[in-house]
Amino acid sequence: MSVPAPRSTRPPLLPLDEALAQLLGGVTSLGRTETVNTFDADGRVLAQELVSALQVPALDNSSMDGYAMRCADVRQAGMVLKVSQRIAAGSQEAGAGLRLAAGTVARIFTGAPIPPGADAVVPQEECEAMTEPDGHVRIQQIPMAGQWIRRAGEDVRKGTTVLHLGHRLNPASLGLAASIGFDRLRVAARPRVALFSTGDELVMPGEVAPAQMRPGAIYNSNRFFLRAMLQRLGCDVTDCGIVPDQRVATELALSSASESHDLILTSGGVSVGEEDHIKPAVQALGTLDLWQIAIKPGKPFAHGRVGSAHFIGLPGNPVSSFVTFMLLVRPVILKLQGATALDRSAIPTRASFNWKKPDRRREFLRVRRNASGELELFENQSSGVLTSSVWGDGLVDVAPGRVITAGEPVPYLPFAELL
């Protein structure tokens, strides 16, 4: 009697958080830095601590155009006081900034230093300049001590660290760096990324007119959005084009890219079909782990090394590639640059839709906020429908097995947080 062959069992799907932890565990900062003009540092990762050599503001100053005065001199609305000083920001006029004489006010402008003795500013809208007597002003408001005064050092105190090593710079932090005198910043060098696609079915836009496309051919959309996403994350991207579905061609492309890049990123060819040559090619040149991750879209995912370069292979379906890049590749790119904030920030947001078909995988649904601030669901959640990612402005992170009822708060990941 013959014994039936044992049934092959697939390994369990890997949870996303576990996959990300394993992936990041093999990544360290590249350690290369360069110094750039602060104007050109947006999106770069800071490679130094920024310590302020001064306090900001340097002096107590006015946050409004108006009149600086002593509260004790204005006991009731409608009092008329003499204007004894005029103080503009950076004013060099004689007498500007002298102690305010009792019973007088100083005409003051936004950013100008508060004269000694004054303890409040009343906006000019609450004051009436007088022609009789000339050089006087009627105060229509009883001031409160400290109103409309920006205190010295309330923004930055001397000797404090205002931006830390590993901070990813944005427009606000560039302004903050400039406010303490930094015209140049040391930042992480750009990771060098080789990008290519695999698949004989791929055609570049412009090479063949839509009416002339052969049966089964598709335009290579992944190459465009992956390159843009890499560049947004500060990478120096080499576009290696489309690699034919041939083992030798694939090995040559990988080997060449590994010599001068920190990361090789591919899309397509990471499954186990006969025409998918990425797996054997990477294994022949280095090491490879091929994962089935418990997410939808984006289950197949490959990572490893080719020479000294990291390798990541994304699925070929455009939405799968788009989503897995944001969830898994983005943190790798940031860690290569020494960034400290790698986590995604989900925002609890009310759903305006019902989701009654839970999956055993963790799902990422394409949604957008409507005028009332609730989330609308794109009707077709297929992994090939790239229009869902243009229509939407973020993802809903749906736990395995969860149903959603309209009105419930759900974890919302804005694309703005992922790019």
Mean pLDDT of the chain: 91
Q: Is the pLDDT of residue 274 over 50?
A: no
**Six-digit token string for 84:** 């004894």
Check: CB of residue 313 under 8 Å from CB of residue 398.
no
Element (H, E) at 118: none
The residue whose two tokens read 């936004």 is: 110
Q: Phi first, then psi: what are they for 160, rounded to 5°?
A: -90, 150
pLDDT tier at 277, thresholds 50, 70, 90: confident
- Domains of the chain by residue range: 16-28+190-336, 34-56+156-188, 61-150, 347-418
Residue 206 has what pLDDT?
84
Single-letter residue type at 106: A
Task: Decide if pLDDT at 94 tops 50.
Answer: no
Summarised one tens digit per residue, pLDDT across range 225-266 is 999 999 999 999 999 888 888 889 889 999 999 999 999 999
| Intrachain domains 16-28+190-336 and 61-150 with the same fold | no
* SS3 at position 280: helix
> Do residues 45 and 234 lie in contact, with contact meaning Cβ atoms separated by under 8 Å?
yes
pLDDT of residue 93 exceeding 60, the answer is no
pLDDT of residue 204: 83
- Residue 202 has a pLDDT of 83
pTM of the model: 0.86
**CA-to-CA distance for 158 and 305, rounded, in angstroms?**
46
Kindly tell me if the per-residue pLDDT of 272 is higher than 60: no
> Residue 418 carries which DSSP code?
H
- One of 1.10.10.350, 3.40.50.1370, 2.40.340.10, 3.40.190.10 is the CATH number of 347-418, namely 2.40.340.10
Q: Is 300 left (phi over 0), alpha (psi -120 to 50) or beta?
A: beta
Q: Which of 93-97, 375-379, 414-418 is the least confident region? A: 93-97
**Which homologous superfamily is 61-150 in?**
Molybdopterin biosynthesis moea protein, domain 3. (2.170.190.11)
- Residues 183 and 190: their CA atoms lie apart, in Å, by 20
Tell whether domain 16-28+190-336 is in CATH 3.40.980.10: yes
Among 84, 85, 72, 81, CA closest to 143: 72
Mean pLDDT across 272-285: 76
Q: Is the pLDDT of residue 110 over 60?
A: yes
Site of tokens 């289950």? 299
CATH number 3.40.50.2300 is the correct assignment for the domain at 34-56+156-188:
no
Share of the chain above pLDDT 90, in %: 77
